[in-house]
Amino acid sequence: MALTENDVRGIAEYARIALEGDELAEMTAYLNDAVDMLEPVLAYNLPDVDPTFHPIGSLSNVMREDAA
């Protein structure tokens, strides 16, 4: 999935980054290279691997009880 200059312009506006002229073309090429680097990762099919949300597992709160 290649990003177009219009896609990158929209991302830049959302992030409030001013890109003009050659900068827009340069950033489009840069972001397309970054997306291309993710292709090998997306090709993995790992149905037996459960998704994780935190590398430490079930650790959710390390704060002590609040006491007056």
| 27 touches 6 (CB < 8 A) | no
**What contacts 2, CB < 8 A, 6 or more positions away?**
32, 35
- In this prediction the pTM is 0.60
Both tokens of 42, joined, read: 């997306």
Cα 55 to Cα 9, 25, 26: the distances in Å are 35, 37, 35
- Could you read off the pLDDT of 2-41 as tens digits, one per residue? 899 999 999 999 999 999 889 999 999 999 999 999 888 8
Q: What is the pLDDT of residue 10?
A: 95
Q: Is the pLDDT of residue 59 over 80?
A: no
